[in-house]
Amino acid sequence: MGLMDGKVVLVTGAGRGIGREVSLDLAGNGARVVVNDLGGDIGGEGDDLTPAQAVADEIAKAGGEAVVNGGSVSEPDAAQAMVAQALDAFGRLDGVVNVAGILRDAYFHKMTLDEWKAVIDVHLNGSFYVARAAMEQFRAQESGAFVHFTSTSGLVGNAGQANYAAAKMGVVGMSRVIAMEGQRFNVRSNCVAPFAWTRMIENIPVTSEEMAESFRKFREGATAAHIAPMVTYLLSDAAGAVSGNVFGVRGNEIYLMTQPRPVRTLHKGDGWTADDLAETLEPALRHDLYGLESTGEVYAWDPL
């Protein structure tokens, strides 16, 4: 018996990297899987069903069941078709994992409208389209679970990724509201911020021996396979009391991430003027204000 016996899960971006490992882990725990992947490069260009088919074949070889879908998450009709395919092939849908993603990195002052829109369309709009299509089924059957992929590029920040960061923070807000609204229908929604060596990481230029050594440790200590068990757990009935949260997974480390809540309060009985704030705010909050550390500075230790 596996945690996902009898369940059907749609995984987007499932042909490579994290999506592939998630699909294999779900199948290994008894799920039947819709393996979605457009088959494009990291910029979203091209289409090739070979990676998705290879994952489905691997699942079948191990005794599981899977079907392939090559639709683009950035197209609402394609998202509807993914859900319809799950119902046609397996008669039900119990979980959705929104992994599909692209990168169009550029410094903000150089970022083009196309670079901005392409990333928002896949990560944020794509997650919405697929989740929205599945939500109708989940509400009708009064059960279902979402796992959306966010990133510390949004939660913490990374230079050159304003488009990606904006999309990934948007995903967190969307997931939270899905969780709140879905509660009455037994529908759960959580986010995972993964740290894993993937082809997206491979495209970062190595500029020093120190950086090369850090990447070597990262490649060995934080793999896509480390992410998958957390996703399987969150989709399973064992996580029935877990919804609306954000988790980080980095090698053998799992983090429950904070969500914005008041940290300190300033009150002035007769109200504030700009001059009052200029005199008071920064000194009063100095030790609680967030600095401009990047993801790499916040997570400065090697994954174990």
> CA angle, 232 as apex, 134 and 56 as ends, to 5°?
75
Residue 195: per-residue pLDDT? 87
**Distance separating alpha carbons of residues 84 and 67, to the nearest angstrom:** 12
pLDDT of 123: 98
270-279 pLDDT per residue, tens: 999 999 999 9
Helix ranges restricted to H, the chain: 17-28, 50-61, 76-90, 113-119, 126-141, 152, 162-182, 199-202, 209-221, 224-235, 274-285, 295-298
What's the pLDDT at 221? Answer: 73
β-pairing, 66-69 vs 95-98, is unpaired
Interatomic CA distance for residues 148 and 124, integer angstroms: 10
Sign of the four-CA dihedral 65, 67, 68, 74: negative
pLDDT digits (tens, 9 = 90+) for 173-221: 999 999 999 999 999 999 999 987 565 555 555 566 766 666 666 667 7
Contact of 10 with 95, CB cutoff 8 Å: yes
**pLDDT value, residue 5:** 98
Tokens of 12: 């987007």
pLDDT (0 to 100) of residue 226: 94
pLDDT digits (tens, 9 = 90+) for 99-116: 999 999 999 999 999 999
The catalytic residue among 129, 164, 233, 299 is 164
DSSP per position, 21-85: HHHHHHHHTT-EEEEE-----TTS----SHHHHHHHHHHHHTT--EEEE---TTSHHHHHHHHHH
Give the full edge-to-edge strand order of the sheet including 253-256: 66-69, 32-36, 8-11, 95-98, 144-149, 187-195, 246-250, 253-256
159 within 8 A of 146, measured Cβ to Cβ? no
Give pLDDT, residue 203: 56
Which residue's entry shows tokens 């920040």? 157
Domains recognised in the chain with CATH numbers: 8-259 (3.40.50.720)
Provide the percentage of residues in the chain whose pLDDT is more than 90. Answer: 83
Query: CA 222, CA 98: separation in Å to the nearest integer?
Result: 20
pLDDT for residue 153: 92
Q: What is the pLDDT of residue 212?
A: 63
Task: Give the pLDDT confidence of 42-81 residue by residue, as tens digits.
Answer: 666 767 899 999 999 999 999 999 999 999 999 999 999 9
Question: How confident is the model at residue 213, as a pLDDT?
Answer: 62
Q: How many CB atoms lie within 10 A of CB 22?
A: 32
**Four-residue CA torsion sign, 190, 196, 198, 200:** positive
The helix-helix angle for 50-61 and 17-28 (nearest 10°) equals 20
Confidence (pTM): 0.92
- Average pLDDT of the segment spanning 140-144: 98
What is the pLDDT confidence band of residue 300, given thresholds at 50, 70 and 90?
A: confident
Average pLDDT over residues 269-297: 95
Q: How far apart are CA 104 and CA 118, in angstroms?
A: 8
3-23 confidence digits (pLDDT tens) = 999 999 999 999 999 999 999
**Catalytic residue at 164?**
yes
